[in-house]
Amino acid sequence: METASDLHPDRILVIDFGSQVTQLIARRVREAGVYCEIVPFQSAAEALETFEPKGVILSGGPASTSDEGSPRAPQAVFELGVPVMGICYGQMTMCVQLGGDAQGSDHREFGRATIEVKESCPLFDGVWAPGENHEVWMSHGDRVIAMPQGFRVFAQSEGAPYAAFGDPDRNFYGFMFHPEVVHTPDGAKLLANFVHKVCGCGGDWTMAAFRAEAVARIREQVGDGNVICGLSGGVDSAVAAVLIHEAIGDQLTCIFVDHGLMRMNEAEEVVSLFRGTYNIPLVHVDASEMFITALEGESDPEKKRKTIGKLFIDVFEEEAGKVGGAGFLAQGTLYPDVIESVSFTGGPSVTIKSHHNVGGLPERMNMKLVEPLRELFKDEVRALGRELGLPEAFVGRHPFPGPGLAIRCPGGISREKLEILRKADAIYLDEIRKAGLYDAIWQAFAVLTDTKTVGVMGDGRTYEFVLALRAVTSVDGMTADFYHFDMNFLGRTATRIINEVKGVNRVTYDVTSKPPGTIEWE
């Protein structure tokens, strides 16, 4: 079967040295219309031979080139005759490997910094000009102190005299700052210049092209076999199912295990979409009683996940066994899952995503995997969903973890608590939509805390739950900040919840932020 490398003649390889934002490099390259993949530095030599990139980008990382045994790029990178860009640690290892020098510095730079452009270069074409000052995002303790032969300085900052350097004759360039993050306002343009003007790549990485290629690959892989796809109600599995159905039609059967922990009316929406709109064969299993009974009284969040995971596997496996002749299992595995599974920094062992974030399906099912989205990031999956014609209300839906309301209900689970949370969450989202804020927020949800307070409502005292509201914004999914609602919105929403949801007498708003690399969409 053809690989992504066969299908995309213009492609960039990113060698990962452990930066928490390496994925953003690939995203920016793909946003420029060029296919891109990431490999850890340990397997980069082999990847260079099989992937045959038109350019290579060396990522940042936590190491120091002065440390014994610190990682290096394969020397072949600099002998391929293709352009190479080094970012932060990538710049320093490039420098050292080509005969320059880098060392630790007392003047570290973390956060926003201003650089002065000293000389023009192809990466700055149409973006920056000599003599201008521009904001960038720095994150380094080491710095270059001597450039390799043939290199010139293109920009510098107070703490980094070689903030941007390069050898235009060999098309080697290095940035001390991070162009991939949104905090470097012109960074995406600099990366686009690298892939288009320096590497000579076109801009034909589109969802329409991917859709056609994916359909062809699915047909080739599956042939006349039958495929089972587990639906979770989320975007990933839905897009995978619609794409596979376009390729093989009724050879696909979807199984939707309704565990009773979904948002209000969500199960009905899934069934309506797949049976009504797309006429895709769907097995709908209402296992809510089984799940909720098993979770009653359980307060440990990890035990909740494991309980849900085990029951899901049991139910799914039983239903899959009823689908005759199915030799393939479809999963909505995304590219970040693939990257994480081979992380050199100690990521989890290779486990196939279950869409319920609670563990893989057992090997005893003995089915071949169909993973049509494994090359895509989350935003690309949404774009593919739109390309396939899925309703915007479904494609743009906020992320929702597989264990669902069970982990948004700290403490023991009960039907009463789930119903309180489901109603309150629906009111919260309804108010967000009415205010026109839904698409401006990455994720919003309510949490029914395990705390009760005494309150006065009318002429009576109450002893009811405290409900917490959460909403975060994110551009990349790598950092998050709480959404800055105005007090009128919060007051209006809290009033509705307290008036309409029996069991809640106090509402709070969570203003926690998440620094880079720590997001867990719970």
Residues annotated as part of the active site: 88, 178, 180
How far is Cα 225 from Cα 248, in angstroms, rounded to an integer? 9
Two structure tokens written together for 147? 């450039």
Its sign, for the CA torsion 36, 518, 178, 187, is: positive
Which residues face 155 on adjacent strands?
A: 117, 164
Taking 3-state DSSP, the helix, strand and coil percentages for the chain, each rounded to the nearest 5, stand at 35, 25, 35
Contacts of 407 (CB under 8 A, 6+ apart): 301, 304, 305, 401, 522
Buried b / exposed e along 215-226 (16+ C-beta atoms within 10 A): bebbeebbeeeb
The secondary structure element, H or E, covering residue 426 is helix 415-434
How far is Cα 112 from Cα 175, in angstroms, rounded to an integer? 14
444 with 470: CB under 8 angstroms? yes
How far is Cα 178 from Cα 199, in angstroms, rounded to an integer? 19
What is the rounded (10 degree) CA torsion for 385, 205, 217, 1?
A: -150
Tokens 């169909």 belong to which residue? 370
The secondary structure element, H or E, covering residue 92 is helix 89-97
Any idea what DSSP says for residue 195? I
Q: How many C-beta neighbours within 10 Å does residue 445 have?
A: 24
Phi then psi for residue 414, to 5 deg, are: -145, 160
How far is Cα 59 from Cα 62, in angstroms, rounded to an integer? 10
What is the 3 state secondary structure string of 341-378? HCCCCCCCCCCCCCCCCCCCCCHHHCCEEECCCCCCCH
End-to-end CA gap in the chain: 37
Which residues face 469 on adjacent strands?
A: 446, 509
Which residues face 463 on adjacent strands?
A: 454
Task: Kindly write down the DSSP assignment for every residue of 51-64, as one continuous string.
Answer: H--SEEEE---S--
Helix axis angle for 207-222 and 378-388, nearest 10°, is: 80
